[in-house]
Amino acid sequence: DIQMTQSPSFLSASVGDRVTINCKASQNINKYLDWYQQKHGEAPKLLIYNTNNLQTGIPSRFSGSGSGTDYTLTISSLQPEDVATYFCLQHSSRPRTFGGGTKLELK
Amino acid sequence: EVQLVESGGGLVQPGRSLKLSCLASGFTFSNYGMNWIRQAPGKGLEWVASISSSSSYIYYADTVKGRFTISRDNAKNTLYLQMTSLRSEDTALYYCARERASFDYWGQGVMVTVSS
């Protein structure tokens, strides 16, 4: 199984900050990497698919990059509504595996 | 509007069975693979099972293989998860999710608590 190591586990930032979250796969996942946002008490929501494709309706301050085993989610200017836990998911192979999550809070 | 609504959760004793359902609407259900994903209280996400659009391909996580069965009824736009021999570690919020490689739509989840 492909292991997804996400960092940091916890992140505190101020409104307007640039925020980056990382996921490292245990093997090459060929850019089959998604990012999900889960607000408290809600279901996860797809933000970015296949490394750098913004899902419909997601603000352009969210972006993704990466290749091989290393991937990054960037929020260019943090907004209060971005407080959430973020997960990465690889769908290069089965079983699908998630990163452990990054809890993002406002400073 | 795509909607996925799970049902069938509850409190169940260890070793017993439970069947979850996920009613889909707002899209052509028979065109999409579907998945069950769970989240234990305060924990991360764990993929549980997936089924292709015509039920030809089915996959399970090792943690549930042999105990859980995923199925679907395309005429009823419904996805199922039959869970048997339940354990305390199966306690979680269970989500159904539509698959287009990515999990692009999720239900709100249904809670399953396994406890004596």
> Across the interface, do B106 and A94 touch by the CB < 8 Å criterion?
no
Closest CA of chain A from B2, distance in Å? 13
Q: Could you give the CA distance from residue A57 to residue B87 in angstroms, rounded to a whole number?
A: 39
Out of B21-25, B88-92, B98-102, B108-112, least confident range: B98-102
Which is it for the CA torsion A73, A77, A80, A81, positive or negative? negative
Confidence at residue B101, expressed as pLDDT on a 0 to 100 scale? 85
User: Across the interface, which of B61, B104, B106 has its CB nearest the CB of A95?
Assistant: B61
- pLDDT of B69 above 90: yes
> Across the interface, do B47 and A96 touch by the CB < 8 Å criterion?
yes
Give chain A positions within 8 Å (CB) of B104.
Answer: 46, 49, 55
Pairing label, strands B18-25, B78-83: antiparallel
Structure tokens at A55: 């899902």
Phi, psi of A59 (to 5 degrees): -60, 150
Q: Are A31 and A86 in contact (CB under 8 A)?
A: no
Residue A39: closest C-alpha in chain B: B108
State the Cα torsion A18-A27-B93-A22 to the nearest 10°: -10
Q: Are A51 and A67 in contact (CB under 8 A)?
A: yes
Closest CA of chain A from B14, distance in Å? 26
Quote the mean pLDDT of chain B.
97
Phi, psi of B32 (to 5 degrees): -125, 145
> Across the interface, do A55 and B50 touch by the CB < 8 Å criterion?
no
Confidence at residue B49, expressed as pLDDT on a 0 to 100 scale? 98
Mean pLDDT for each 10-residue chunk of chain A (107 residues)? 97 98 98 97 95 96 98 98 98 96 97
Best mutation target among B35, B45, B68 (most A Cβ atoms within 10 Å) is B45
Q: Report which of B1, B31, B7, B30 is spatially closest to residue B19, judged by C-alpha positions.
A: B7
For residue A14, the tally of other CB atoms under 10 A from its CB is 9
Length of chain A: 107
